Amino acid sequence: MTNPERRLRILVVDDHDVVHWGFRLLLTQQPWVERCLSARTGAEALALTRRFEPHVALVDLFVGEESGAEICELLRRETPPPTVLLISGAGRISMSAARAAGASGFVSKDWPSAEIVAAVREVARGAKVFQPEREPAATGLTEREREVLGLMGSGATNREIAGSLHLSPHTVKEHTSALFRKLDVRNRTEAVQRAQRLGLLD
């Protein structure tokens, strides 16, 4: 675990200049940040990690044509490995997939700056930062709809869901229709895929 009193070296891995500018402006204002490094490819990220040994790496989910999760895995193999916080403006990754890649958290670029800064500091201290997705679709589901979604994710049919939850098939159909509308999808497969991206299903 990184000493919380130690000033941190932070690596930002993203292919957009404005993102580097924004994070550098935000992070270098913090008294606990020593320096903010910038990489625009996975290869640059590895080279900077080997040279400067950053404590925390903020890695976008999509760095050009590269997968942020794969870059995360590569960085975590270095010695010493940086703690990785995945970031994204539009993409989504489930908590289980992020953990599998070795990430300690995931934040959205549209979060308030104070919360992003807090997340960087928390993962540097050894914490995990996986806050619930903030899209209306994620927060607008009822408890029953979440139960139906969970069973749907396990591959259960509407009749099987009805039996498990002691509901009529007609009621289950109503719940699935509401799920499709709230998740903005057309069928069960899309519903499960979107729910996984939103972190509603592991």
pLDDT digits (tens, 9 = 90+) for 46-66: 999 999 999 999 999 999 889
pLDDT higher than threshold 70 for residue 39: yes
Q: Which has the higher per-residue pLDDT, 196 or 163?
A: 163
Superfamily for the 8-130 domain: Response regulator (3.40.50.2300)
- Domain positions in the chain are 8-130, 136-197
Q: pTM for the whole thing?
A: 0.65
Evaluate whether 174 touches 156 at the Cβ level (below 8 Å).
no
The Cα angle at residue 119 between residues 18 and 62, in degrees rounded to 5: 45
Average pLDDT over every residue of 70-87 = 96
Which residue in 101, 111, 113 sits closest to 42, CA to CA? 101
CATH assignment, 136-197: 1.10.10.10
Q: Which has the higher per-residue pLDDT, 201 or 85?
A: 85
The Cα angle at residue 6 between residues 116 and 33, in degrees rounded to 5: 40
In sequence order, which residues have a C-beta less than 8 Å from that of residue 82 and are 6 or more positions away?
11, 49, 53, 54, 55, 56, 57, 75, 76
pLDDT winner (highest mean) among 1-5, 105-109, 118-122, 133-137: 118-122
pLDDT higher than threshold 60 for residue 2: no
pLDDT > 70: percent of the chain: 92
pLDDT higher than threshold 80 for residue 202: no
pLDDT tens-place string over residues 118-152: 999 999 999 998 865 444 445 478 889 889 999 99
Write down the pLDDT at residue 35: 95
The Cα angle at residue 96 between residues 92 and 100, in degrees rounded to 5: 105
Q: Which has the higher per-residue pLDDT, 112 or 159?
A: 159
Write down the pLDDT at residue 65: 87
Mean predicted lDDT score pLDDT of the chain: 87
Write down the pLDDT at residue 4: 46
Q: Which two tokens stand for residue 60?
A: 């976008």
Average pLDDT over every residue of 32-36 = 96
Write down the pLDDT at residue 1: 44
In sequence order, which residues have a C-beta less than 8 Å from that of residue 5 and are 6 or more positions away?
32
